[in-house]
Structure 1
Amino acid sequence: MTRPLVITDCDEVLMHMVVPFAEWVDAEHGVIFRIEDASFAGALKRKECGTPLEAAEVWPLLDGFFRTEMGRQYPIAGALEAMAAIGAQADIVVLTNVGPDHQQRRADQLAALGLDAPVIGSRGGKGEPVARLIAEREPPVAIFIDDIANHHRSVADEAPGVWRLHMVGEPAIADKIVAASHAHARIDDWTAARDWILARIAEGVRAPEPALA
């Protein structure tokens, strides 16, 4: 029988990203990172004048970080222990928006920490890759975990029978991010999140789909 499936993001769910990224862009690029609104680009400002970076300047910095600085990242408290407990009951796939270029680096990063799970380096909304995984694996129950609200909306549209957990594991930004309206739960602590996920697995039922108007 096909096992349950947990599809999880990585940055700010399994691994700290914004804090090591902020330290790096400060030290190496003269850029400060301050979460003051919902825009990642708007949070990046030049130290010398305080002006926000243009959107076109942001991806090269992120790409550079993932290309050479992933060693600065470290696990969210309790994440790897929770994944070990969950992995005893379900298959785990890491769906991360680092893109195909950094997919293997991410897999190597997690494997070095003891999480040897398939990694998909996607771009854009996560609804389509989640729907493909569900179609391929046909799990009796599936759970999606991500820190970004738009991905929960995307999954709700493309794979509505998947349980959706909104998690922001980085305390520096968690209180600045509103709970995703398309998620079934918002939990930022891995002990509580593990229990919620294992409860969904034990129940073994699909998430309720929205009633048609």
Structure 2
Amino acid sequence: MTRPLVITDCDEVLMHMVVPFARWVDEAHGVLFRMEDASFAGALKRKECGTPLEAAEVWPLLDGFFRTEMERQYPIRGAMAAMAAIGAAADIVVLTNVGPDHQAARAAQLAALGLAAPVIGSRGGKGEPVRRLLDERRPSVAVFIDDLAGHHHSVALEAPDVWRLHMVGEPAIAGKIAPAPYAHARIDDWAEAADWILARLDENIPAPRPQLV
């Protein structure tokens, strides 16, 4: 039997992203970020006229941020201490939707903070990469952590035995995001979240399978 596995997102789980991103797009692109609901793209508006950016304009801004501005990011409170505690009991893999182009930079970013974990720069739903990790590693129990409800649904479909924790570690947006229906718990504070994760690892049993729609 192999070690337990914790698969975690990065942005708004381990590292602040929207706050430094908002400062950068304001300074460099004349774009305001005002998140009024769960829509990231809809929060981006031109400073001069207030019109929302087109969907096709959003990814180039995100790509530019990850390409040149990742040093603006800083850890979510308690995240690195929690990873150290969890790493004593489980393997950790960071599964982040920055894409393959920014995978190495993300790994270096986290390693500089003391988290020397494998990083997978994915795109799209996270269910399939989680399933592949389970097939490769055969963990005794697995926990998935992410801030986006869609990824919890994707993992519930592809890897229903995985425990799923919904975390939005950025206080500026946490209150605007409803709990993910396909997560087993919603916890936005790392002290409480680490206890929940360690309890799941200690129990060492598969997650209850969801009612999928």
Q: TM-score, normalised by structure 2?
A: 0.98
Name the CA distance, whole Å, in 2 between partners of 1:136 and 1:153.
Answer: 22
Q: Specify the SS of the correspondent of 1:164.
A: strand
Letter of the 2:106 counterpart: R
Q: Specify the SS of the correspondent of 2:66.
A: helix
CA RMSD of aligned residues (A): 1.1
Name the CA distance, whole Å, in 2 between partners of 1:7 and 1:166.
Answer: 12
Letter of the 2:132 counterpart: R
Aligned to 2:125: 125
Q: Please report how far the alpha carbon of residue 211 of structure 1 lies from its aligned counterpart in structure 2 after TM superposition.
A: 5.9
Give CA-to-partner distance per residue, 1:100-151, whole Å, 9 cap, x none.
0000000000001000000000000000000000111110100000000000
Name the CA distance, whole Å, in 1 between partners of 2:41 and 2:88.
Answer: 39
User: How many residues get paired?
Assistant: 213
Residue 22 of structure 2 is aligned to residue 27 of structure 1 = no
Q: Specify the SS of the correspondent of 1:131.
A: helix
Q: Please report how far the alpha carbon of residue 212 of structure 1 lies from its aligned counterpart in structure 2 after TM superposition.
A: 8.7
Q: Please report how far the alpha carbon of residue 157 of structure 1 lies from its aligned counterpart in structure 2 after TM superposition.
A: 0.2
Give CA-to-partner distance per residue, 1:59-99, whole Å, 9 cap, x none.
00000000000000000000000000000000000000000
Q: Is the alpha carbon distance of 1:107 and 1:212 closer, same or farther for their aligned partners in structure 2, counting shifts above 3 Å? A: closer
Contact conserved, 2:125 with 2:150, CA < 8 A, in 1? Answer: yes
Name the CA distance, whole Å, in 2 between partners of 1:100 and 1:211.
Answer: 33
Name the CA distance, whole Å, in 1 between partners of 2:29 and 2:210.
Answer: 46
Give CA-to-partner distance per residue, 1:148-205, whole Å, 9 cap, x none.
0000000000000000000000000000000000000000000000000000000000
After the TM superposition, which residues 39-78 of structure 1 pair with which residues of structure 2 at under 5 Å, given as runs? Answer: 39-78=39-78
Structure 1 runs (4+) greater than 6 angstroms displaced? none
Q: Is the alpha carbon distance of 1:211 and 1:148 closer, same or farther for their aligned partners in structure 2, counting shifts above 3 Å? A: closer
Name the CA distance, whole Å, in 2 between partners of 1:59 and 1:77.
Answer: 27
Greater CA drift, 77-86 or 28-37: 28-37
Aligned to 2:108: 108
Name the CA distance, whole Å, in 2 between partners of 1:194 and 1:39.
Answer: 28
Aligned to 1:13: 13
Gaps of 5+ in 2: none
Contact conserved, 2:146 with 2:167, CA < 8 A, in 1? Answer: yes
Name the CA distance, whole Å, in 1 between partners of 2:211 and 2:181.
Answer: 16
Aligned to 2:163: 163
Q: Specify the SS of the correspondent of 1:14.
A: coil
Letter of the 1:85 counterpart: A
Q: Is the alpha carbon distance of 1:212 and 1:157 closer, same or farther for their aligned partners in structure 2, counting shifts above 3 Å? A: closer
